[in-house]
A and B are shown apart, each in its own frame.
Chain A
Amino acid sequence: MNSTSVIRLALPGKGTLESATLAFLAESGMKVNRNNPRQYLASVSSMLDLEVVFQRAADIPLLVRDGDVTFGITGYDILAEHRGTAEAESEEDDYDDDIIVLEQDLGFGYCRLIVAVPETWIDVSTCTDLWHLAGYYSMHKKRGLRIATKYPALTGQFLRQHGITHCKIISPHGALEAAPLTETADLIVDLTETGTTLRENHLKLLDDGVVLRSQACLIGNVRLLRENEQALRLASIMLELIEARMQARNRSMLTAHMQAETFEEVQHIFTRLNQRLNSLVSGLELQAAHTKEQNSINPYRYTISGVTNVRGSATEFLEIVAVLRSAGAAHINVTPLTYRFAEESASVGNLKKRLKRKH
């Protein structure tokens, strides 16, 4: 492979994950240009050597594993099922696989894989109850529980962890919620965001029945990352942007101007200001600097600034503004933060370390 070849990023090409992924990339500075939504290829204007391919989310782990694409964004649930385990990173070195998780939590595409049983099962509310029920089934019905799921590997692992080994996992192609109603299965293991669909189909969640919590994740092919410097460079750029964007999320930049006669007065105002603000919001640390006017420093005007994690709530901002005003501040600006870069990117450093180790 030569270093000028195109590097591919696979994105989910269908459903809610598609729009969420595109929105996420756009706000992270990697807007995907696609001429029309039926096209399978696209590009990112800020990264010319990256080619975007749209694929079904379920196929993306395989494409990354085989090196058909270098990067992919997909649901963590899909990756976990592909690996056959819900265990996270720490055991990653154990997989006979070329997939490395670059960022596990991209902050969108949230869902849970859960165990749901018919709501008429008043005797079952925990996995322990399910274990006992498996015993009841084998004694009275001479068969194991039947569980319908599209995640047979994760389901099998979860059930084994709870000692439920006398059961049968089936994977129908159609809607799972119908399986208990039509008596093709006794219970289901399925994805849910809010649980509404489950309730509408007379199913209920078990209290401790969460098999996996998932969100979208960024994965890459270890071998390609190790062999191809350009791929590693692109990975670093993506991780850096994603990290900076995720750090900036829900944060705002606050600036204001203030007048004072002496330096002592500034210090005094400032100490009181920080104290009062800290009682309102945590983590807001203001800094002051002399304001420059036409290349010369005005000794009596100061600019104060700071980053706050107030989640864009207008009333909370008004409280902060009131405090600032009472201290004599003017020109108070609040802007949402786009990126926030640390001294160095933790995820890039981490990736390099893991690539070395993973061989």
Chain B
Amino acid sequence: MKKHIERLRGMHDRLPETYHQQRWVMDHLSAFLAQAGYAPVDPPILERSELFQSSFGQELWQNLYTFRLHHRDLCLRPEFTASICRLYLDHYQQQPLPLRFQYAGPVFRYEAPGRGRYRQHTQLGVELFGGHTITADAEILHLACEALSELDIHSYRLELGHIGVVSGFINRLQLDDHAARLLLSLMEQISRSEEGEQKAQARLEALYPAKRSGGNEISSNAIDTILGGDTQFLASLLSGISVTFGSDDARHEVVERYLWKMERSEQRRRILDALEFLRALHAISGSPPEIFEALRELLDRYELDPEPLTELEQLVAVIGQSEVTNQQIILNLALGRGVSYYTGLVFEIHALDEDGFDMQLCGGGRYDHLVRAVGGTRDVNACGFAFGVERLLPLIPQSYLPTVAITQVLVIPVSSQNMPYALRVARIAREAGLQVEVDVTGHGIGAGLKLATKKQVHLALIVGDDEQQTNRVTLHDLVTGEELMLDIDSLAKNISGEELPL
């Protein structure tokens, strides 16, 4: 027995109706972005895994479609940004900035499929390399909102954030990179839900546990001695333990690492401070202009640079130029995106789907270090955004979307001998700009006309031996039932003038 081969979970077949609609959306947006100077590029779907691993700053990324071919780690792209940065390095490094690119195509993520979440979906977006931070940010933010407007999508929520606030705070705490990256990665979790916040806290508590008192822990006095830089003390302690170290270097490293471990409890307080700060930031989210006051106060209280806030204020003013109202904007400085490469502005656009569930339509921001992370010799200022095309579709008014074009003309050969002539007739009719099918069932005129009626075809062109010999066709109007003989030369003129339903 033959096994039915099933479609993969989370993957979808796109059928004509959706295909046409999605194609239309993509063409429409692409033309719109091209008008703003964004040149279309199309990087390969398959890249080296390294590209995404280095852009995400980690080597284990669970949602990647990775595989190994001839001892090479390959990966279906989970997003475009890293690919576009690579493309920039490959072809455009010598060119003057700014450079604008747009892209569209499938991306792949191996996640649990769910409402509006597919393992393969289509992203359409832009990247803007170079330019001044605020003006470039303003351009892409404005562009993202205008693009939605082009599709007649007006009811959405724009969430604005800025990584600069949190990273400024973290920098001041002088945490190591590792801890800083952890905090940034927890930002998203914290701002998503209360449960996420508790999980984040539990995680931090586990990684930076409180000093246990009593027991067989080393006394704080000894820790002070060690932290005082007395590595000799620890080294001598180690030589007393019956563990063989390969070399003095190995012993030295373990000593150094042990000291590093001791510092953890010192870091704990700072880590928890950072968590507290993230909470405070998250608690103050809301719409402009009122929210700026509260945020400024918070930054003041923590003595943080208000620069990111000033930038956001300018951006809000820019968006005010488009049709977005202040009520649609939410400022959330604890907004963290799934990937770790953002350095400044971050934003997301959300809307409710037909059942009232929140859906993210668009995400973007600034990533000034990404070009270097994927192999560039220097940092290049860059920002961009991407839409999830499948999620846009249900929000576009039906009247905007094209319907599947139906066949207007059916050419019916009387017998198989008439097929070559039928194909010639079909070509002439197509040249007149019509959608023309040839009846290939081989059942003759009667069956052919029935088929035409069933398919709601307007016109049938019947070609038999008589027509073929005289270079004519019999035109049968299926709506009126009229029939007339036409010269093949006058066919185009006759039918293109018809008022045919599209």
Contacts and interface: CB of A to CB of B under 8 A. Distances in A.
- Verify that A and B bind, or say they do not: yes
Interface of A: 1, 67, 94, 96, 119-123, 128-129, 131-136, 138-140, 144, 156-157, 159-160, 163-169, 202, 223, 227
Interface in B228-287: 238, 241, 243-246, 250-251, 254, 256-258, 260-261, 264
B207 A166 contact: no
A166 B260 contact: no
19 contacts: A1-B1, A96-B9, A119-B243, A120-B254, A129-B261, A132-B261, A135-B178, A138-B177, A159-B60, A160-B60, A160-B62, A163-B203, A165-B58, A165-B61, A166-B57, A167-B59, A169-B60, A202-B244, A223-B3
Contacts of A121: 254, 257
Contact of A165 (B59, B238, B251, B260): B59
A1 B2 CA distance: 9
Given A67-B3, A119-B243, A120-B243, A136 B257 contact: yes
B179 interface: yes
B109 to A, nearest CB: 15
B245 A120 contact: yes
Q: How large is the interface on B (under 10, 10 to 19, 20 to 34, 35 or more residues)?
A: 35 or more
Nearest to B245: A120
B58 A123 contact: no
A164 B60 CA distance: 8
Nearest to A141: B253
Contacts of A131: 207
B484 interface: no
B59 A136 contact: no
A123 B238 CA distance: 11
A120 B9 CA distance: 46
What 5 A-B pairs come out closest when comparing CB atoms?
A135-B178, A165-B58, A165-B60, A123-B257, A123-B258
Interface of B: 1, 3, 8-9, 57-62, 112, 176-179, 182, 203, 206-207, 209, 238, 241, 243-246, 250-251, 254, 256-258, 260-261, 264
Given A96-B8, A119-B243, A122-B238, A134 B61 contact: no
A163 B189 CA distance: 14
Contacts of A94: 112
B477 to A, nearest CB: 51
Contacts of B245: 120
Contacts of B206: 128
Given A119-B243, A123-B257, A223-B3, A139 B177 contact: yes
A136 B263 CA distance: 12
B59 A168 contact: yes
A94 B113 CA distance: 10
Contacts of A165: 58-61
Contacts of A163: 182, 203, 207
Contacts of B178: 132, 134-136, 138-139
A166 B58 CA distance: 5
Contact of B254 (A123, A134, A160, A169): A123
A227 B238 contact: no
B250 A120 contact: yes
Contacts of B243: 119-120, 122
Contacts of A129: 261
Given A122-B254, A123-B260, A156-B62, 18 more contacts: A94-B112, A96-B8, A120-B246, A122-B241, A123-B257, A132-B207, A132-B260, A132-B261, A133-B257, A135-B177, A135-B179, A140-B256, A163-B182, A165-B58, A165-B59, A166-B59, A166-B60, A167-B60
Contacts of A168: 59
A227 B261 CA distance: 58
A122 B241 CA distance: 10
A156 B66 CA distance: 13
A160 B257 CA distance: 22
Most-contacted residue by chain B among A94, A120, A139 (CB, 10 A): A120
